[in-house]
Amino acid sequence: MNIAVLGAQWGDEGKGKIVDLLTPNFSIVARYQGGHNAGHTVYANGRKFVLRLLPSGILHDGITCVIGNGVVVDPQALFGEIAEVEAAGVKIGSRLIISDKAHLILPYHRELDVLSEARRGERKIGTTSRGIGPAYEDKIARRGVRVLDLRRSDKLRALVERGVAHANAMLEAGGGSERASVEETLESLAAISERLLALADDVGLSVHRALKSGAAVLLEGAQGSLLDVDHGTYPYVTSSNTTSGGAAVGAGISPMAIDAVLGVVKAYTTRVGHGPLPTEFQEPLQTQVRTLGNEFGATTGRARRCGWFDAVVVRYAARVNGLSDIAMTKLDVLDTLPKIGLCTGYEIEGSLHTEFPGDLSLLENAAPKYEWFKGWQQSTGEARKLSDLPAAARKYLDRIEELVETRITYVSVGTRRDQIIGL
């Protein structure tokens, strides 16, 4: 059985923890989109790991980890991460394969990301400044450089010349002071080429063969469904398809090969960066929940914006992804609260919406409607089965299942591997 595990809110739902826990049931764990904008936290062997490009299955011996064609790869970031993980005693060896069709993030993509944000002023997205958006722009505009291009130095120069010419035109038009250089870009590629090519392969073909021989694959999403470039809160999104449709495309396999889709959600909502968040807390609750949940970005350290669980959002994510199940994380973060809100709809210009509106201007005027639940005000961190949870917590989960029309199969009650219900 092959599954996709992906975020069903705005990212940081706890995908890393869930993927790590499920990995022993699979032979291959594959990332299918995004880049090192992701930060997937796993607590294992008494340490904290934050995985950015490496699939969260990497901490398990014997698991093959794949970076699919849909991912944008910054080679420096990749090698830095490999070094970090290996320094912590993880053996990677030949377990890592990178699609030779994956596009590269080049140094000028970072410059362009920073400049484009600066030029947006008030309307900035709040990107991770990793060059993700500009690398995907070059991919779609058919001027990107792929891993396989490193094999042919004659063609590589022409590709880099084209990329640099476009980047410099953009930097100049945007009033940026930096300029990209063909020679420097080629030098930086020459420095990583041999090492990267040694990991590169036709990933779609290897995974296809593995599937035929009975291997099971876990496809790991990055970001969240509401950050999907098509289905998210555009333009306040990332530049890839984070949803389950993107999983087949980005790993290079058939959509028919995906048997189930597990959506990861937090017991509340967070978002990092700008854009609408209808259930966002006011102070002092904002600071209180941020502190309880330690809601600071795994990649950028930025404070995450927090709010009540939004069933309209997750109901929508369940639909666009075809979620078969939900894994809910961080239930323990709500343990001390006297009452808990659950958003069941939005009032917009006098009418009630229970389906997520695609038009941002509607969303910006949405007044959330809440059902209120009595807090359980006791610790859930030691619960290992649903019946260990306080009745008030079970009531909250039951109502969420009803509203989003999807069953909650796993409930996580702490950062550690053993703090899970449902395995």
Is there a catalytic annotation at residue 109? no
Return the one option of ligand IMO, Mg ion, ligand GDP, none that residue 125 interacts with (CB less than 5 to 8 A, by type).
ligand IMO
Between 36 and 393, whose beta carbon lies closer to ligand IMO? Answer: 36
Between 204 and 414, whose beta carbon lies closer to ligand GDP? Answer: 414
Between 37 and 380, whose beta carbon lies closer to ligand IMO? Answer: 37
Return the one option of ligand GDP, Mg ion, ligand IMO, none that residue 127 interacts with (CB less than 5 to 8 A, by type).
ligand IMO
Q: Is 14 in the site for ligand GDP (CB under 6 A)?
A: yes
Among 145, 332, 344, 356, binds ligand GDP (CB under 6 A): 332
Q: Is 12 in the site for Mg ion (CB under 5 A)?
A: yes
Backbone angles phi, psi at 42, to 5 degrees: -135, 130
**Under a CB-based contact definition with an 8 Å cutoff, are residues 211 and 16 in contact?**
no
**Under a CB-based contact definition with an 8 Å cutoff, are residues 46 and 265 in contact?**
no
Q: Is 149 in the site for Mg ion (CB under 5 A)?
A: no
Q: Is 288 in the site for ligand GDP (CB under 6 A)?
A: no
Mask 275-304, x = binds Mg ion (CB under 5 A)?
-----------------------x------
Of 36, 40, 109, 166, which one is the catalytic site residue? 40
Between 126 and 390, whose beta carbon lies closer to ligand IMO? Answer: 126
As a whole number of angstroms, the longest Cα–Cα distance in the chain is 67
Return residues touching ligand IMO (CB under 6 A): 7, 11-12, 37-40, 125-128, 130, 132-133, 222-224, 227, 238-239, 272-273, 298
Q: Is 20 in the site for Mg ion (CB under 5 A)?
A: no
Q: Is 176 in the site for Mg ion (CB under 5 A)?
A: no
Q: Is 413 in the site for ligand GDP (CB under 6 A)?
A: yes
Return the one option of ligand GDP, Mg ion, ligand IMO, none that residue 332 interacts with (CB less than 5 to 8 A, by type).
ligand GDP
Across 18-45, b (16+ Cβ under 10 Å) vs e yields bbbbbbeebbbbbbbbbbbbbbbbbbbe
**Under a CB-based contact definition with an 8 Å cutoff, are residues 81 and 159 in contact?**
no
Is there a catalytic annotation at residue 274? no
Return the one option of Mg ion, ligand GDP, ligand IMO, none that residue 128 interacts with (CB less than 5 to 8 A, by type).
ligand IMO
Q: Is 408 in the site for ligand GDP (CB under 6 A)?
A: no
Q: Among 4-12, 92-100, 118-126, 307-315, which window interacts with ligand GDP (CB under 6 A)?
A: 4-12
Among 33, 37, 41, 244, binds ligand GDP (CB under 6 A): 41
| Count of C-beta atoms within a 10 Å radius of residue 160 | 23
Return the one option of Mg ion, ligand GDP, ligand IMO, none that residue 389 interacts with (CB less than 5 to 8 A, by type).
none
Return the one option of ligand IMO, ligand GDP, Mg ion, none that residue 126 interacts with (CB less than 5 to 8 A, by type).
ligand IMO
**Closest approach of Cβ 296 to Mg ion, in Å?**
11
Q: Is 31 in the site for ligand GDP (CB under 6 A)?
A: no
Among 3, 6, 17, 342, binds ligand GDP (CB under 6 A): 17
Active site residues: 12, 40
Give the footprint of ligand GDP on this chain (CB under 6 A). 7, 11-17, 39-41, 298, 329-330, 332-333, 412-415
